[in-house]
Amino acid sequence: MASEAPLLTPLAEDIWIVDGPTIDFYRIPFPTRMTVIRLANGDLFLHSPINWTPELAAALEELGPIRHLVSPNWIHYAYIGDWAARYPEATSWASPGVRARAESRNVKITFDRDLAEAPAPEWAEDLDQLIVEGSKVHTEVVFFHKKSRTLVLTDLIENMHAKDLPLWVRPFAWVAGILAPHGKMPLDIWMSFTGGRDKLRNALTRMLDWHPKIVVLAHGDILRENAPQRLREGFRRLKPCAHSH
């Protein structure tokens, strides 16, 4: 029996999300989500690719050629190798730390290029980006789709429903601050910035200066209402730099 393809959900013109299966991460069930952006030249940019299925691949091919397979942080990379094997013409992009992570877990994956602070020429017309650099706990590349004013985060904010978590996990999720509708930056990531809040403040300021209308998260409900204020709350009410508005 063929597997049911994840549903491509449009967010705005030329940007979609695809919700994939729940995965077991350190015995905690995490929902998975891929963001798909069609660039001005028609190429597809797959942010945090979920598991490959023929049905999903066919749906994407109707949108355009798959050209960019993007790992936004060190733990979102597991399925890139499967997509790369089927689309050898696509470029696999490595986030800071992901090569070492994959090697430490004996995951055979070849990354072609590395993400940098500045957008790659291939998508500079469509996307802005920055690297939010924490301690060894977490570093993440965030993207901003200019046309739709959509900010694409991965794990910097999580906003999951308690009902979707095992009973034993819910108290820990509450302490971590990641429960919807008021999900925030997970406590461990927040603590990793204890000695570097200025860097985090600068990153938040940059994101607010993009004036996002939608904030996509990899885990949990997307932030759609009053996105700038919700972004501030998600960063645990960290005050942005004075020039931000």
* Kind and range of the H or E run holding 104: helix 98-104
Spacing of C-alpha 43 from chain mean position: 19
> Is residue 240, in this structure, part of any structural domain at all?
no
Evaluate whether residue 241 is within a structural domain: no
Cα separation, 233 vs 200, whole angstroms = 14
On whether residue 3 sits in a domain, the answer given is no
Which residues are 160's β-sheet partners?
179
| Per-residue model confidence as pLDDT tens digits over 27-76 | 667 788 999 999 999 999 999 999 999 999 999 999 999 999 999 999 99
Residue 206 CA to residue 151 CA, distance in Å, equals 11
Percent of the chain with pLDDT over 90: 78
Classify 60 as helix, strand or coil: helix
Q: 209-237 pLDDT, tens per residue?
A: 999 999 999 999 999 999 999 999 999 98
Total number of domains constituting the chain: 1
Report if residue 243 sits inside a domain: no
Which residues on neighbouring strands pair with residue 69, listed in sequence order? 46, 92
* E strand or H helix at 202: helix 197-209
6 pLDDT band (50/70/90 cuts)?
Answer: low
Residue 216 lies in a domain: yes
The answer, yes or no, to whether residue 1 has pLDDT greater than 50, is no
- CA–CA gap between residue 178 and residue 157 (Å, rounded): 7
d(CA 91, CA 80): 10
Q: How far apart are the C-alpha atoms of 195 and 201, rounded to whole Å?
A: 12
Quote the CA–CA distance of 229 and 237 in Å, as a whole number: 9
239 inside domain: no
On whether residue 245 sits in a domain, the answer given is no
Confidence of residue 243 (pLDDT cuts 50, 70, 90): low
Give residue 2's pLDDT. Answer: 46
- Label residue 40 left, alpha or beta by phi (over 0 means left) and psi (-120 to 50 means alpha): alpha
* CATH number of the domain encompassing residue 111: 3.60.15.10
Q: Which of 67, 35, 26, 1 is nearest to 145 (CA)?
A: 35
CA 129 from centroid of its chain's CA atoms: 12
